[in-house]
Amino acid sequence: ARDPAVKSYPDVLLYFKGFQALQAYRVSHWLWITGRETLALFLHSRANQVFHIDIHPGAKIGFGLMIDHGTGVVIGETAEIGDNVSMLHKVTLGGSGVRGVARHPKVGNCVLLGAG
């Protein structure tokens, strides 16, 4: 485990909101790519309200993302995140405002992202 605060796997399932938000994203992403955008956005909205982590269902996220102390994390619709990325609180992968192109950053593999 990359997070030294992890004592057991049940702790992660029950108390780590970064993990829980990521699982909600995985379901909403599946809904998004299967054409159920309205339901995907509803789940995205509820997860954002509960966890204070905003991961758009259209974002592409690889394996092994760890969101540590995830309050304020924002991952936009066209963002792409590689494998084994660690992301700390208040990181925003926001958009450029330009339509018709990938508006959000692309993050490679094995990257640590922090803000502030």
Whole-number pLDDT of residue 15: 85
Q: What is the pLDDT of residues 24-70, one digit of tens each?
A: 999 999 999 999 999 999 999 999 999 999 999 999 999 999 999 88
**Residue 4 CB contacts under 8 Å (≥ 6 apart), including other chains:** none
Which one has a higher pLDDT value, 64 or 116? 64
